[in-house]
Structure 1
Amino acid sequence: MGKIMKRSILAFMIFILLLLCPLAFSYTYIHLAPQQLGEGRVYICKLPVNLLLFEANKEHPTKILIDPQKVPLWNRKGKVYVTSDENGTNPLYYWVENSTTVLVSIPPTNDTTIKIFVWYCAIENPYQEYEDNTKFLEIHEIPYSLENTTVYFKFE
């Protein structure tokens, strides 16, 4: 009787694990990359944005609307900056118009479909000199889509 009970419990535990695995993996868009630096925690969030430009080889000042309900930690965004590369090393001119709108100046490119990255974090902005509202006298409404945010945590 005890052996049958143990097998039943084991089968039940495996069944529960199989049910919980899809729930755990449904949130894989948040990647945690902790670095042990002491105590506390600082977050850096990278939000990829796909843009469909109307015309190649032309500068496009554009407006990106953010829905704080769908973008993790946006309400606690802290510092904001924008880059044209995933590593955050090629800054673009930007202006945070309000709590849900970021203006971005897209430089001329040969492509009409590009990806930019909106960074928002609780660390210092490395590209403060790119925060410039004079670049946005004329703003284009460009079709875009927001991809899943990646959140990196650093421990301090």
Structure 2
Amino acid sequence: MLHAGEDIRFIARRIVIFASEDVGNADPRAISVAVAAMQAVDMIGLPEAKIILSQAVTYCATAPKSNASLLAVTQAGADVEKDRVQPIPLALRDAHYKGAKEQGYGVGYQYPHDSGGFAVQDYLTVDRRYYEPKPIGYEAKIRERMEYWRSLRKYGGKTAAGSGDDSDE
């Protein structure tokens, strides 16, 4: 692309998009590598910037791939476009002003940090999921965590075995 005359900043931006759109959470470091490369290209310039681009491209090209985040935002956007959205649940509405609690705003909100980083509360109020992590790379860990959280919700905060201890998750 460089040899054909393409602007080096355009190529760097495309690598950032590649890292997010095609690699995604399968290797979340890819976006950091790509953004660092884009910044370095601006600071260094040619001819050395070719090395920087090469490093970022090879990292992204050899990383595991997932477009689950892209699919999620596309599906969510389609629901918004078709007006298939739910009102914000009262428990999630801002309760930091006078009269908010009287309207039910913030009442019943479960703060995840008060319960080991996870709240059993279902914030969406409808059976709809957008982000479905793939069983590859780091997304496999995200997928396991989300499945664990679903089991906690199913059993009211306890695992099927009954412990409810999610302190190491």
TM-score for both structures, normalised by structure 1: 0.23
Higher-helix-fraction structure: 2
Give the structure, 1 or 2, with the largest relative contact order (CA under 8 Å, sep 6 or more): 1
TM-score for both structures, normalised by structure 2: 0.21
